[in-house]
Amino acid sequence: MPQTRSFFRRCWRMVALFIATWWIVAGCSSPSVNTPTSETSPGASPLAGSDLTVGMVMVGPKNDAGWNQAHFEGIQEAIKQLPGTKLEYVDKVNPADRPNVTGAQVADDLIAKGAKLIIFNSDDFKDDALAAAKKHNDVPVLHVSGDYAWKEGKNFKGQPNLTNVMGKMQYGEMIGGCAAALSTETGKIGFLGALINDETRRYASSAYLGARHCWETYRKKPASDLQFKVTWIGFWFNIPGKTLDPTKVADDYFNGGYDVVMSGIDTPEAAVQAKKAAEAGKSAKYVHIDFKGGCNLAPDSCLGVRYYHWNVPYTTTLQNLKDGKPLESFTWLGPDWKDINSTATSMIGFLPGKALGDNQKNIDAFVKSLGDGSIDLFKGPLNYQDGSEFLKAGEKATDQKIWYMPQLLKGMEGPSA
């Protein structure tokens, strides 16, 4: 009886069957076929011949109700504005969703398919963007949120066909922070932060500056009475076991007397938990981010949402390419102060929520002062968390100082790195 042998063979086969089946099941369980849009289906563009194909590499799913969706809708809007352009894209380009695929490889394939402009939509892609730009030095590469093409920045690489675009969300954060400070009854604001880097430190600090200003100006209370706490979960969204659970972080805020939570992550945990806390009779409000429709998640608890209009820079870039104009190597766009919610012109916007109530008038006043320059919150004296000096008295922050903030500001609670 060859029992031992046949036992082993059975095992062997079982393992193989298991893996193979797992592969199939894993494949079938996410059969979300990308519905072809009119822009992406070949032959749909009206002006064949003078086609400009844009290749876009997205880090997350194009329908994430956050960062990636904002980009996807932005580029689609831009393409709608400019006949003769079309889009090729790959989303979910990250090691978890697409193992053994790098952003640079996707760029190679997009270029092979005729893309004349490559857009990378995440800070994570900075090395891929540089590699792609070096390899295809005749194709412009637009990297969103990076600084490799910023001549005045710290990491300038001097790659001529690499450009950077970013929005000055610090203004959105200030307005959001102001809305939080106007509405808090306990004087305690919680900031639900993602991972820690220059960008997120900048945003949390801006939110704090806005909150402190409105607390002092409109609520007429001393800054020392305002508590502003930042909790970082470790990534842009919840990865069970690897990040802090944002649901729990939001709950801890609401249970700990923080009656306003500002979301700084891609997913809507702050909104969901605010709604629950409000239903349980607590005073709980939230400020949403990225996704313009964020207040619909819990209208009665929403103070507002700060968001990007990516179509603004994308339209400009595409138009310039079509016209044969050179691209701006580094663009850092702010709001259109005439109408910060203008789809056509304003990179950064703020939509107030129902819960803001009468405070709306103060927000309007605050936005107006920001727009006409009568208020500059990045003006000294300002110190870092550890007490060291950020801005001397009367000193105005340069873009570099704002971009590269090594620490949170004095008066904020939470880790800087």
Partner 1 sequence: MRVELHNICKRFGSVQANDDVSLIVEAGSIHGLLGENGAGKSTLVKILSGFMTREQGSLQLEGHEVNIKTPADAMQRGIGMLHQDPLDFPPLSVLDNFMVGQPGGLFTHRREVIRKFRQLAVQFNFALDIRQPVGDLTVGERQQVEILRLLSLGVKTLILDEPTTGISASQKDALFAAARLLASQGKSVIFVSHKLEDVDELCDRVTVMRQGRVVGNLPIPAPDAQLIELIFGEELAPPAKNSTCQEGVALALENITIRSDRLNIQVNHLTVQQGEVIGLAGLEGSGQQLLLQLCAGLLQSSTGCLQIKGIDLTRQPYQTYLNTGVGYSPADRLREGLVNGLSIHEHVALKTSSQGWFVDWKGTLKQAQTAISLFNIRGKPDTKVERLSGGNQQRTQLALLPVPLNLLLMEHPTRGLDIGSTLWVWQQLLARCEGGTTILFTSSDLDEIMQYSDRVIVFSGGELSEPIDAKKLTVERLGQMIGGKLHYDSPVMAKRSTKHPAKR
Partner 2 sequence: MISKISISRFNVYQVGSLVIALAFIAGVILMVGGSPLAVVTSMGAGAFGTTDQFARVVATLAPLLLCASGLLFTFTAGLYNLGIEGQIVLGGIAAMIPIRLFQEILPAPLVIAMAITAGALGGMLWGLLAGILKVYGRIDEIFAGVGLNFMADGLALYLIFGPWKKPGVASMSGTEQFSEAIWLPTFGKTEASPVALVIALSLLLLTFIVLRGTYFGLKLKAVGHSLRASYILGIPALSQLLSAFALCGAFAGIAGSLQVLAVFHRLIPSISSNLGYLALLIAMLSGSQAWLLLPIAFFFSALNIGSLQLPLSLDLESSLSGVIQGTLVLFALLGRGFSELNKSDLNKTVNH
Q: Which spans of this chain sit near partner 2 (rule: CB under 8 A)? A: 4-5, 8, 11-13, 15-17, 19-24, 26-28, 30-36, 40, 88, 90-91, 95-96, 98-102, 105-106, 108-110, 112-113, 123-124, 127, 135, 195-198, 201, 232, 234-235, 239, 242, 406, 417
Is 20 exposed, middle or buried, given 0-12, 13-18 or 19+ CB atoms closer than 10 A? exposed
124 binds, among partner 1, partner 2, none (CB under 5 to 8 A by kind): partner 2
33 binds partner 1 (CB under 8 A): no
Site for partner 1, residues 124 to 183, rule: CB under 8 A = none
Q: Are 271 and 263 in contact (CB under 8 A)?
A: yes
Q: Would you give the distance in Å from CA 243 to the centre of its chain?
A: 18
13 binds partner 1 (CB under 8 A): no
Decide whether 4 or 374 has the Cβ nearer to partner 2. Answer: 4
28 binds, among partner 2, partner 1, none (CB under 5 to 8 A by kind): partner 2
1 binds, among partner 2, partner 1, none (CB under 5 to 8 A by kind): partner 1
What is d(CA 148, CA 79) in angstroms, rounded to the nearest whole number? 26
Question: How near is the Cβ of 325 to partner 2 at its closest, in Å?
Answer: 28
What is d(CA 207, CA 177) in angstroms, rounded to the nearest whole number? 4
The pair of three-digit structure tokens given for residue 165, joined into one six-digit string = 């675009």
* DSSP annotation string for 334-393: ---TT-TT-TTT-SEEEEE-GGGGGGHHHHHHHHHHHHHTS--SSBSSEEBTTS-EEE-T
11 binds partner 1 (CB under 8 A): no
Decide whether 129 or 347 has the Cβ nearer to partner 2. Answer: 129
- Pairing assessment for the beta strands 348-352 and 302-308 based on DSSP bridges: antiparallel
Decide whether 4 or 29 has the Cβ nearer to partner 1. Answer: 4
36 binds, among partner 1, partner 2, none (CB under 5 to 8 A by kind): partner 2
5 binds partner 1 (CB under 8 A): yes
Decide whether 87 or 340 has the Cβ nearer to partner 2. Answer: 87
Decide whether 4 or 35 has the Cβ nearer to partner 1. Answer: 4
Question: How near is the Cβ of 84 to partner 2 at its closest, in Å?
Answer: 21
| Residue 311 φ then ψ, to 5° | -60, -25
Which residues have a Cβ under 8 Å from the Cβ of 184 and sit 6 or more positions away? 259, 260, 285
3 binds partner 1 (CB under 8 A): yes
259 binds, among partner 2, partner 1, none (CB under 5 to 8 A by kind): none
SS3 188: strand
Residue type, 108: D
What is d(CA 121, CA 100) in angstroms, rounded to the nearest whole number? 19
What is d(CA 291, CA 289) in angstroms, rounded to the nearest whole number? 6
What is d(CA 302, CA 292) in angstroms, rounded to the nearest whole number? 12
1 binds partner 1 (CB under 8 A): yes
Interacting span for partner 1 (CB under 8 A) from 1-9, 181-189, 206-214, 241-249: 1-9
Q: Angle at Cα 310 formed by Cα 306 and Cα 356, nearest 5°?
A: 15
2 binds partner 1 (CB under 8 A): yes
Question: How near is the Cβ of 2 to partner 1 at its closest, in Å?
Answer: 5
Decide whether 3 or 29 has the Cβ nearer to partner 1. Answer: 3
338 binds partner 1 (CB under 8 A): no
What is d(CA 85, CA 158) in angstroms, rounded to the nearest whole number? 28
Site for partner 1, residues 181 to 200, rule: CB under 8 A = none
12 binds partner 1 (CB under 8 A): no
Question: How near is the Cβ of 10 to partner 1 at its closest, in Å?
Answer: 14
35 binds, among partner 1, partner 2, none (CB under 5 to 8 A by kind): partner 2
Q: 164: closest CA among 173, 152, 174?
A: 152
Decide whether 9 or 80 has the Cβ nearer to partner 1. Answer: 9
313: cis peptide before it, omega within 30°?
A: no
22 binds, among partner 2, partner 1, none (CB under 5 to 8 A by kind): partner 2
| Residue 349 φ then ψ, to 5° | -135, 165
Residues at the site binding partner 1, with contacts judged by CB under 8 A = 1-5
